[in-house]
């Protein structure tokens, strides 16, 4: 693994997560859209927002000069 990215606050706080210790790690806190309560429109909006936030971060990440 060249790089590890966690999204869930629970996993990033574990002292020994499921990743190699020598891999660089980043934590991108993104709310789990599957946990959203409400009608279908609210649930859909949560998934769209999570997708948008991840897209922005991934675009920035792949454009880093390394």
Domain that holds residue 4: 1-30
Do 56 and 44 belong to one domain? yes
Share of residues in the chain with pLDDT > 70 (%):
80
Do 46 and 23 belong to one domain? no
Do 38 and 19 belong to one domain? no
Six-digit token string for 23 = 């891999």
Do 22 and 41 belong to one domain? no
Do 37 and 25 belong to one domain? no
Overall pTM > 0.85: no
Do 49 and 20 belong to one domain? no
Low-confidence ranges of the chain (pLDDT < 50): none
Task: State phi, psi for 25 to the nearest 5 degrees.
Answer: -120, 150
8 A C-beta contact, residue 33 and residue 12:
no
Do 36 and 66 belong to one domain? yes
Do 45 and 57 belong to one domain? yes
Residue 57, pLDDT score: 94
């Amino acid at each position: 693994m060249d790089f590890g990215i966690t999204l869930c606050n629970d996993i990033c706080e574990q002292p020994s997560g499921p990743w190699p210790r020598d891999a660089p790690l980043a934590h991108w806190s993104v709310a789990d859209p599957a946990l959203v309560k409400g009608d279908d429109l609210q649930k859909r909006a949560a998934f769209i927002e999570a997708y948008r936030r991840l897209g922005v971060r991934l675009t920035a990440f792949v454009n880093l000069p390394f």
